[in-house]
Chains A and B, each alone.
Chain A
């Protein structure tokens, strides 16, 4: 019960401080607005809502170009040309959901009416409706191209036959023309131009490259500012010690653990309020400002659990800071710099799936990474609760470590 008394008192103090409101809510919203707005402007002022389709064009001929243009002109799909090596690696690593491979000699084969096989490589864990939609578009365009090729080929063959046969056999050649064309069309049906290939995944989750600016900015800055809130816990403990009320509480019938948990609890509440307000802003307000809304993914319970674990972890970090810091400057200045650095390292500014390529496993040393990774999976990739269990366990481990070390190093004297 004493834990609640302390927490309620501290929340009362916290919410009387306008500066805290600015740090808790004002700054993150400003960051999100600026960041997502800038990202949107960088891609042309309007959010490109077309589905991206990475294409490896090994042919580069007129047939391949016609195919690409046909797919794009069908609407709803944006072609991104990439190298084969990049595509292969990205598909293996799971950083790309799917890619279309156009083989060499595609143009010649189509022009000659020979079978040419396109490969739409899709990871099994990619979003199935999206893959299916792309397959239908590609198949439609390819079928038209094949039909056109067959017609042209048949007409050419007919022309050649008519030019070479003696007049006495002209009537026979005219009868053979339609039969030849029918044979070509039959061939086209039985030997489809597009085949769909599925690869075995090496990673559990695939990145959906079509994440919006809001989906990247909102969770990243939420994580950054929730962990910055740990400074409030540290400052609250420091202030309590400084004015002497900590001594008074130690002299009252409160255990030391109760006292520290009571000091941590307001940070948990404040952090959760932060998450609700910032996510709410992303879902409801960003669209009103002409930006793409934040999607909360397919597992809202998982989002809530990750938010709670992140808030606990931030509070534990606050206690650790309070235990290690000896001066006000160490809490306000030094720890602030460290928390911002951890945010940068942990993918709060640059999405984890980009930063991982550069920093690799170093990112895993900070709790921000695990929170960002969980939110990216849930909000961007549409992952389920089970998919983010590793990240939740990591956050729990960080929380336990911060609390244990904090308690061990805490100077109650």
Chain B
């Protein structure tokens, strides 16, 4: 598949602050691509550069072959943006909002009316089309917000946190709409979220972004496979590098990392933390163990601790998902 979007070492600085620190990725035609990261990671800034809202400080990107630095006018005709905010005019009706955004993209007459009717069907709001947006529920407003990004039939749609503040029913409706657009119309979609379940559900590939950098980029399956059979956090009374190495050598254990001790528990003498990540549950030292099979690894780890008379203080099994991948990569939770 050809790439609809090629991002090459994109940088954005606001004064001294570097919000995006050289991100690179590609999105294929017809792909739903996820940008996963916590708030403030640089997702919206990246999208703003790709849609012409912000000029990149360095690097470039091509949309449908058009360079966003030199051919943004052409690139804009291929893009659709659904911003994080409800970018609508509350006192106007849903139809008036959609017609306005359609006109801005050059649609007019019958074509405009048909396109508006079509996107109203896509978001299931035909019945309420002539009511003012201010009378809509939060979920309905979100759906009109999406429709406004679709009215000109973009080849590449940027959905920036489209489910923030949405009730579960409307969220499901948005998911269905996104999948239908991709399946039935072949629309390429970049979906940013800090909800890992959404990215797992909707996207075939994703980039995990943190502090302005892409720290992982792969298919969802491969990203989750980074954690093998899952991750367990084992809290012990005391731990040192020798214990860590011994656990790493146990069956079904891929990797063992000594986490920085929690505030309440000073590190064991001679023990040095492998990561700055704080132990999430422990009162003493915590060893993070990446397993090939979490339940079998738990059995062998507990056996080792008993044999060596090391007291177990806590045990947490993290299912393999994007949340635990992010935690594994950054030492932070996505919603921190």
Point out the residues of chain B lying under 8 angstroms from A5, CB to CB.
Answer: 100, 103-104
**Across the two chains, which residue of chain B brings its CB closest to A262?**
B104
B106: A residues at CB distance < 8 A: 253
Query: B92–A12 contact, CB under 8 A?
Result: yes
Closest chain B CB from A19 CB (angstroms): 12
Taken together as a complex, chains A and B put the C-alpha atoms of A247 and B88 apart, in Å, by 11
A249 within 8 A of B: yes
Q: How far is the CA of A245 from the CA of B81 in the complex (A)?
A: 11
**A365 contacts the other chain (Cβ, under 8 Å)?**
no
Query: Which residues of chain B are near A253, meaning CB under 8 Å?
Result: 73, 76-77, 104-106
CB-contacts of B1-25 with A (<8 A): 14
Question: B51 contacts the other chain (Cβ, under 8 Å)?
Answer: yes
The complex places the Cα of A254 from the Cα of B105 at a distance, in Å, of 9
| Known A-B contacts A16-B91, A17-B91, A243-B88; A252 and B83 likewise in contact (beta carbons under 8 Å) | no
Question: Which residues 1-55 in A have Cβ within 8 Å of B in the complex?
Answer: 2, 5-6, 9, 12-13, 16-17
- Within 8 Å CB of A248, what residues of B? 81, 83, 87, 101, 148-149
Is B138 positioned at the interface, with any CB of A under 8 Å from its CB? no
Contact B86 A247 (CB under 8 A): no
B280 is an interface residue with CB less than 8 A from chain A: no
Enumerate chain B residues within 8 angstroms of A252, measured Cβ to Cβ.
Answer: 76, 101, 104-105
> How many B residues have CB within 8 A of the partner chain?
30
**CB-based contact B92/A251 at 8 Å:** no
* Chain A window 398-413, contacts with chain B (Cβ cutoff 8 Å), 1 for yes, 0 for no: 0000000000000011
A243 with B104, Cβ < 8 A, contacts A16-B91, A251-B52, A251-B76 known: no
> Would you give the shortest CB distance from A99 to chain B, in whole angstroms?
59
Q: Which residues from B are CB-within-8-Å of A13?
A: 89, 91-92
Q: Which of B76, B88, B104 gathers the greatest number of chain A CB atoms within 10 Å?
A: B104
Contact A254 B53 (CB under 8 A): no
Contact among A12, A16, A17, A244 with B83 in the assembled complex (CB-CB below 8 Å): A244
Q: Interface 1/0s, chain A 60-72, versus B by CB < 8 A? A: 0000000000000
B79 touches A251 (CB 8 A): yes
**B274 adjacent to chain A (CB < 8 Å):** no
Interface residue A250 (Cβ < 8 Å from any Cβ of B): yes
Question: A253 CA to B71 CA in the complex, in Å?
Answer: 11
Neighbouring A residues of B103 by C-beta, 8 Å? 2, 5
Instruction: Say yes or no: A254 contacts B104, CB within 8 Å.
Output: yes
Kindly provide the distance from the CB of B20 to the nearest chain A CB, expressed in whole angstroms: 13
Closest to A252 in B: B104
Q: What is the CA–CA distance of A251 and B158 in the complex, to the nearest angstrom? A: 11
A413, B148: Cα distance in complex, Å: 21
B152 to chain A, nearest CB (A): 8
A242 CB to nearest chain B CB (Å): 8
- Alpha-carbon distance A140/B300, docked complex (angstroms): 129
Distance (Å) between the CB of B249 and the closest chain A CB? 53
Please, how many angstroms separate the alpha-carbon atoms of A16 and B89 in the complex? Answer: 12
A residues 285-301 in Cβ contact with B at 8 Å: none
- Distance, CA A13 to CA B148, complexed state (A): 18
Over the window 137-152 of chain B, the binary record of Cβ atoms lying under 8 Å from chain A Cβ atoms (1 yes, 0 no) is 0000000000011000
List residues of chain B with CB under 8 Å of any chain A CB. Answer: 14, 48, 51-54, 73, 76-77, 79, 81, 83-92, 96, 100-101, 103-106, 148-149
The 29 listed contacts between A and B (C-beta, < 8 Å) are: A5-B103, A9-B96, A9-B100, A12-B92, A12-B96, A13-B92, A16-B91, A16-B92, A17-B91, A243-B85, A244-B83, A244-B84, A244-B85, A245-B87, A247-B53, A248-B83, A248-B148, A249-B104, A250-B51, A250-B52, A250-B53, A251-B52, A252-B101, A253-B76, A253-B106, A412-B53, A413-B14, A413-B53, A413-B54
Taking beta carbons and an 8 Å cutoff, which residues of A are in contact with B? 2, 5-6, 9, 12-13, 16-17, 243-254, 412-413
